[in-house]
């Protein structure tokens, strides 16, 4: 199942810099592991914002929910999920 996910990150300004750097490092490692195994198919930065659009390919809504909750930045994110379906005019399957 394909999902388009928008993630807007809102880290509190009073969070200690050392803690922020640790969270960001764990976030990068976690997201790259999911990219390597194919479940996080692509990630695109939103210009001028601390946000991204990503495509996930997972087996269920529950799996996506579990992966998103595992993000180290999850507590600091607003997340919007859009399920995707094949378009009948698409030339690629």
Q: Which residues of 38-76 are buried (b: 16+ CB within 10 A; e: fewer)?
A: ebbeebeeeeeeebbebebebeeeeebeebbeebbbeeb
pLDDT band at 92 (very low <50, low <70, confident <90, very high): confident
Structure tokens that stand for 39 in this block:
């479940």
Instruction: Provide the 10 A C-beta neighbour count for residue 19.
Output: 10
Domains parsed from the chain with CATH numbers: 2-84 (3.30.70.1060)
Q: Mind listing the pLDDT tens digit for each residue in 19-59?
A: 999 999 999 999 999 999 999 999 999 999 999 999 999 99
Token pair 């930065």 in the structure block, residue? 45
Quote the pTM value.
0.92
């Amino acid at each position: 199942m394909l999902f388009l996910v928008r993630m807007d990150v809102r880290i509190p300004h009073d969070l200690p810099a050392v803690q922020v750097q640790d969270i960001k490092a764990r976030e990068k490692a976690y997201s790259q592991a999911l990219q390597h195994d194919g479940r996080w198919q692509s990630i695109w930065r939103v210009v001028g914002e601390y946000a991204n659009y990503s495509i996930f390919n997972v087996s269920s809504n529950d799996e996506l929910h579990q992966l998103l909750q595992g993000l180290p930045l999850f507590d600091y994110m607003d997340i919007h999920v859009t399920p995707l379906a094949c378009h009948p005019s698409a030339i690629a399957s």
